[in-house]
Chain A
Amino acid sequence: MRNYNALGLIFPNMYDEAVRDCTAIRSMGSLPFGGRYRLIDFVLSNMVNAGITKVGVITKSNYQSLMDHLGSGKAWDLSRKHEGLYFLPPRSSDDAKYQGRISSLADVVAFLKRSKEELVILSDCHMVSSMDYRAMLKAHVESGADVTVACRRGVVPALADIPVLTLDAASRVTDMLIGRISEDEAVYGVGTYVMRKDWLLRTVTEAVARNLLHFERDILQRHLNEMHICGYEVPSLVMPIYSLESYFNANLALLDADIRAQLFPKSRPVYTKLRDCDPVQYGLHAQVTNSLVADGAHIDGIVTNCIVFRGVNISRDAVLENCVVMQDVTVGDHCKLGCIVADKNAVFRSGSRLQGSESYPVYIAKNAIV
C-alpha cells in the first residue's frame, strides 16, 4: 500500500569536496561506510523503506563507481517493470554548466514532467541516517508548506554551504544563514527536502531564466518571506560526514550498540549490493575485540576498535587499533597500524608501522602499497 505519492531524487555529488581524499576517485554517494555499505545506501534504503518506488540519481561527475554499485537497482528492489531506479547523468560534459542543484534539476525537467508523482523528496548523501521519510512526507502534507527542510539541532558541521535555520513555534523557517561556520549549537539543514513536484518544476524553470544556480541561497533564502518553508526536525540519529576526521569518527561510532540500533533498525533494513563473500574466518591467533567485521574478511591478527570491510585480509601478529579498513585491503604480518583510514585494495607489506591520531587519522589511498 502506498501512503504518499512521492518521487525520490538523490544528489550523490553534493559536498564531494568535503572528504577530498576519498572522493578523488568517487562521488560522496559511493563513499564506503560501515563495513559493507556506501553512503547512498542509506538514502536509497530510506526511500525504499518509505514505499517510494521511483528514484532518480542525479550525478555530476566521477560516477563510474556509483553506477557499478547501483547496477539495475535490484539490491534495493528498484529493478522494476513499473518505475524503479533511474540514473540521470549530466546531459553534456560542459563542466561550467553544472554548478549547483538548480542546473542539475534543470537537466532533468523532462524526467520530472513525465513523472506522475505528486511530491518530490530530494536528498544529498553526506548525512548518514536511517530516517523515516514517511513521517517527513506526512509532516509536509499536514503543514501545507511549499518546502519542508529536514534539520537537526546540534553543533553545526563545518560544511561550506550548510544552511542554519531559525524556526518559530510552528516549525516555520523564519531565518536562514548559509555558510556561517560556528562552534555553537544550532538547527542546521541535513540536505533532505520535500516539496510538490509542480512547485519544483515551476521554481526551477524560473530560476534558470534568471540565471540563479544555488537552491538554498537563491531560492529558499531569497524567498523566505513569500514562501512557506518548514523545518522538520529529524528524530533519529544523523551523522554528518564533512571531513576525513568526521568520516573516521562516524565509522567508529558504529562500535556503540545504541548507535547501530539507531542506524540499522529492524523495521528499516539498509540494503546494499551483494558480493557473495564467504563468512569471516578467524584464525587460531585472532584476537578481535570491539570491532565491526564484514563478510569475506580473513583475520589472524590482533584487531581492536576497527571497522573491517568485506574481503580484508589481516595476517598473524598484525596489530590494528582504531582503523577503518576498506574492502580487499591486505595487512601483512607484524604490521602495526593505529588511526588509519585505508582505502580499497591498499596493501600493507609485512612489518609496516603507521600511526595517525584520533583527531587526525592518516589516509592511505586506494591501491596504495605501504
Chain B
Amino acid sequence: MFRKQECVAMLLAGGQGSRLYALTRRIAKPAVPFGGKYRIIDFPLSNCVNSGIETVGVLTQYQPLELNDYIGSGQPWDLDRMDAGVHVLPPYQRNKGADWYKGTANAIYQNIDFIQRYDPEYVLVLSGDHIYKMDYSDMLAQHKANNADCTIAVLDVPKEEASRFGILNTNPDGSIYEFDEKPAVPKSTLASMGIYIFTWEKLRKYLIADEEDTTSQNDFGKNLLPAMLNAGERMFAYRFEGYWKDVGTIDSLWEANMDLLNPKVPLDLSDPTWKIYSRNPGMPPQYLAPTAMVQNSSITEGCNIYGKVESSVIFAGVTVEEGAEIIDSILMPGTVVRRGAKVQYAILAENVEIDEGACVGESPEECTDLSRWGVAVVASGLRVGKGAFVSAQAMVEDNVADDEEVGAHA
C-alpha cells in the first residue's frame, strides 16, 4: 500500500536535447551540468522538494545511464523516502508488446499505474530543461481556488520575443480561450513555461482518449491540451514572476550560466530558504594560487586556479594552469587548461584537456565577421592539442591535433 499523495510530479526527462549538439552526445539534456555545481534537473527536483511534493516520477528514454546514476536513491534532494520519493521510469515491455515513449502525453499515459498507486488529486507535469525557482504549492493553490481542470504556468515575455514561444490567450479572469504556437502576430505576451497542473481524474480521461486517437502525436502541447480546451474544460494560466530560462540551445545555456554572474538577475542560489540541491563529489576547497587572477566568476570545490579567470563559471575539479586565460566561458567538471592556453566565449564539457598555447573560441571584438561569431563548444573527454585553434561557433566532437585549426560549425 502506498500512502495517498495530494500531488504527484512527473518530470519529462527523456528528450535528447539535440540542439545542445556535442553536450548531449552521451547524456540526456536534464543531466547537462549547469551553474558550477548543478545539473539542469536539480532545479525542478529541488523546486518539488521545496514545494512539499514528495513523489516525483522521472521519465527517461534518451541516454539514461548518467541521469540514472545521478538521481540514484534521490538522497541529495531528500527524495529517498519510505513510500514516496523519486522514481526513474523508463519505458518497459508489457504483455501486449513494448513501446518507446511516443510523445510527452504518451510517456505519462504509459505510467498511469505508477500515478494511480498514490491515488493523487493532482498531477504536476514538468520538463527537465528549464532553469528557475518556483513554488509549485502556490500554483496548486490557485488551481484549487479556480476549481480548474488544468493550470498552465506562464511568463510575461517582452512583446518582440513573444513569437518565439507558445502563447496563451486568456480572459480577464485568467481562463484560457486559445493556444497560439509561435504566433507571427501575438495577441498576448503570456508564454507557456511547460509546467502544467492537472486534476488527475480529468488528465487520466484525456490521456486514455488521446491514446485511442491514432492520428494523435501524443504530445501535450499539440494534442492533449487543445483537446481539453475544445471540450470546454476549465483551463487557467498561472502567472509566474521571476527568473526562468529555457536552456535548450548552446546560446541560451551559455547565457543562463552568465546570468548567474550578474547580480541584477533575480536567480539567487545562496538563498537558504530555497536551496538548489545537487549530488556533490565532495572535493577539497578550491585553491587560488599566488599567480591567480579571478574576477566576476563562480568557482566550485576541487579547483586549482593558477591562471586568469574572468566572467566565467568553473565546475568542480577544474585546473587552470599558470598563464592560461579563461574569459566568458563555462568549464565543466574535471577539465584542464594548460599553460598559455586561452579559452574565451566557450563551453568545455567534462574532462576536456586544452593543451599548452591552444586557443578556443573568439571574442566578438576579434571576429571580423560578426555573423559567424558564437560560442565554441568542445565535447566531453576530448583533447585540444598544443597551439591548436578552435574558432568561434565551432562544435568540436573529435580530438584536435597539435596546431590544427577547427572552423565554425555548419
Could you list which residues of chain A lie within 8 angstroms of chain B, going by C-beta atoms? 34-36, 74-75, 255, 257, 260, 264, 269-272, 274, 276-296, 298, 307-308
Q: Determine the distance from Cα of A44 to Cα of B51 in the docked complex, in whole angstroms.
A: 35
The list of the 5 closest CB pairs from A to B, nearest first, reads: A279-B36, A35-B285, A278-B269, A279-B300, A294-B285
In-complex Cβ contact of A284 among B76, B280, B291, B296 (8 A): B296
Given contact pairs A274-B280, A292-B284, enumerate 16 new A-B contacts (beta carbons under 8 Å): A74-B75, A260-B287, A270-B284, A279-B299, A281-B261, A281-B270, A283-B296, A284-B296, A286-B295, A288-B288, A288-B292, A289-B290, A289-B292, A291-B288, A293-B286, A295-B37
Knowing A280-B300, A282-B294, the reply to whether A272 touches B285 (Cβ < 8 A) is no
| A289 contact set on B, CB distance < 8 A | 288-292
Task: Answer whether residue B361 sits at the interface, using C-beta atoms and an 8 A cutoff.
Answer: no
Within B132-161, the residues touching A (CB, 8 Å) are none
- A154 vs B76: C-alpha distance in the bound complex, in angstroms? 43
Which secondary structure dominates chain B's binding surface? loop
**With an 8 A cutoff between CB atoms, is B238 at the interface?**
no
Expressed in whole angstroms, the Cα–Cα distance for A270 and B282 within the complex equals 8
Is the Cβ of B285 less than 8 Å from the Cβ of A282?
Answer: no
B285 touches A36 (CB 8 A): yes
Q: Decide if A260 touches B284 in the complex (CB within 8 Å).
A: yes
In the complex, what residues of A have CB within 8 A of residue B261's CB?
Answer: 281
Q: Is the CB of A278 within 8 A of B284?
A: no
Q: Which residues of B contact A280 (CB under 8 A)?
A: 286, 298-300
The distance from the CB of A256 to the nearest CB of chain B, in whole angstroms, is: 10
Asked if B36 and A286 make an inter-chain contact with CB atoms under 8 angstroms apart, the answer reads no
The interface of chain B, by Cβ under 8 A from chain A, is 35-37, 75-76, 261, 269-270, 275-278, 280, 282-301, 304, 313-314
Residues of chain B within 8 A (CB-CB) of A282 are 294-299
14 contacts between A and B (CB under 8 A): A34-B284, A257-B304, A269-B283, A276-B275, A276-B277, A279-B37, A279-B313, A280-B298, A280-B300, A282-B296, A282-B297, A286-B295, A290-B290, A292-B286
With a CB–CB cut-off of 8 A, which chain B residues contact A283? 295-296
Which of B275, B284, B291, B299 is in CB contact (< 8 Å) with A35? B284
* Alpha-carbon gap, A277 to B286, bound state (A): 14
Which chain B residues lie closer than 8 Å to A296 at the CB level? 270
The answer for the CA separation of A286 and B36 in the assembled complex, in Å, is 18
Q: How far is the CB of B293 from chain A (nearest CB, A)?
A: 8
Q: How far is the CA of A290 from the CA of B322 in the complex (A)?
A: 13
B residues less than 8 Å from A264 (CB atoms): 283-284
* A85 smallest CB distance to B (angstroms): 16
A295 surroundings in chain B (CB, below 8 A): 37, 285, 300-301
* Alpha-carbon distance A46/B277, docked complex (angstroms): 27
Q: Which residue on A lies nearest to B298, using beta carbons?
A: A279
Contacts of B304 in A (CB 8 A): 257
Smallest CB-CB separation from A313: which chain B residue?
A: B270
Chain A, residue nearest B316 (CB): A279
Please name the residue on chain B nearest to A311 by beta carbon: B270
Q: Which chain A residues lie closer than 8 Å to B76 at the CB level? A: 274, 276
* B295 contacts A284, C-beta separation under 8 Å: yes
Kindly state the separation between the CA atoms of A288 and B299 in the bound complex, as whole angstroms: 12
A294 touches B296 (CB 8 A): no
Known: A279-B299, A289-B289. A272 touches B282 (CB 8 A): yes
Q: What distance in Å separates the Cβ of B6 from its nearest Cβ neighbour in chain A? A: 26
> Are A293 and B295 closer than 8 Å at their CB atoms?
no
Kindly list chain B residues whose C-beta atoms are within 8 Å of the C-beta of A75.
Answer: 282
- Find out whether the CB atom of B285 lies under 8 angstroms from the CB atom of A34: yes
What is the minimal beta-carbon distance from A322 to any residue of chain B, in angstroms? 13
Contact assessment for B284 and A290 in the assembled complex, using a CB-CB cutoff below 8 Å: no
Q: In the bound complex, how far is the Cα of B314 from the Cα of A282, in angstroms?
A: 11
Cross-interface CB contact of A288 among B275, B284, B294, cutoff 8 Å: B294
Asked whether A277 lies within 8 Å of B270 as measured between CB atoms, the reply is yes
* Distance in Å: Cβ of A159 to nearest Cβ of chain B: 27
Q: Provide the residues of chain A in CB contact with B37, threshold 8 Å.
A: 278-279, 295
**In the complex, chain B residues whose CB is within 8 Å of the CB of A276:** 76, 275-278, 280
> Within the assembled complex, what's the spacing in Å between the Cα atoms of A270 and B36?
21
CB contacts (< 8 Å) of B291 on chain A: these are 289
A189 to chain B, nearest CB (A): 27
In the bound complex, how far is the Cα of B266 from the Cα of A242, in angstroms?
Answer: 46
User: Cβ of A307: which chain B residues have Cβ within 8 Å of it?
Assistant: 285
Residue of B with least CB distance to A306: B288
Tell me if A274 and B282 are in contact (CB < 8 A).
yes
Taking CB atoms, residues of chain A closer than 8 Å to B284 are 34-36, 260, 264, 270, 292
Asked whether A294 lies within 8 Å of B301 as measured between CB atoms, the reply is yes
Who on chain A is nearest to B292 by CB? A289
Measured in the bound complex, the distance between the Cα atoms of B119 and A115 in whole Å is: 45
Q: Which of A279, A295, A298 has the most CB of B within 10 A?
A: A279
A55 to chain B, nearest CB (A): 18
* Chain A residues whose CB sits within 8 angstroms of the CB of B300 once the complex forms: 279-280, 295
Residue among A35, A269, A290 making CB contact with B289, cutoff 8 Å: A290
- Cα distance A325–B290 in the bound complex, in angstroms: 19
The 8 Å CB contact of B282, one of A34, A269, A278, A279, is A269
* A277 vs B275: C-alpha distance when bound (angstroms): 8
B292 contacts across to A, CB distance below 8 A: 288-289
Q: A269 to B283, alpha carbons, bound, how many Å?
A: 8
Complex Cα distance, B282 from A277, in Å, reads 12
Q: What residues of chain A lie closer than 8 Å to B301, measured between beta carbons?
A: 36, 294-295
A280 to B316, CA, bound (A): 11
When chains A and B are docked, how far (Å) is the Cα of A154 from the Cα of B137? 61
**For A287, what are the chain B residues with a Cβ–Cβ distance below 8 Å?**
293
Chain A positions within 8 Å of B270 at CB level: 277-278, 281, 296, 298
Selected from A35, A286, A298, the residue in CB contact (under 8 A) with B294 is A286
Smallest distance from the beta carbon of B281 to chain A beta carbons, Å?
9
Across the interface, B285 reaches (CB within 8 A) one of A269, A281, A293, namely A293
Contact check, B278 vs A293: say whether CB atoms are below 8 A apart: no
Given the complex of chains A and B, what is the CA–CA distance between A110 and B11 in angstroms? 50
* Bound: A286/B297 CA distance, A: 10
In the complex, residue of chain A having the shortest beta-carbon distance to the beta carbon of B37: A279
Instruction: Give the distance to chain B from A333, nearest Cβ to Cβ, in Å.
Output: 16
* Chain B residues with CB under 8 A of A255: 287
Q: Inside 8 A of B288's CB, which chain A residues have their CB?
A: 288-291, 293
* CB proximity of B320 to chain A, nearest CB, Å: 13
- A282 CA to B296 CA in the complex, in Å? 5
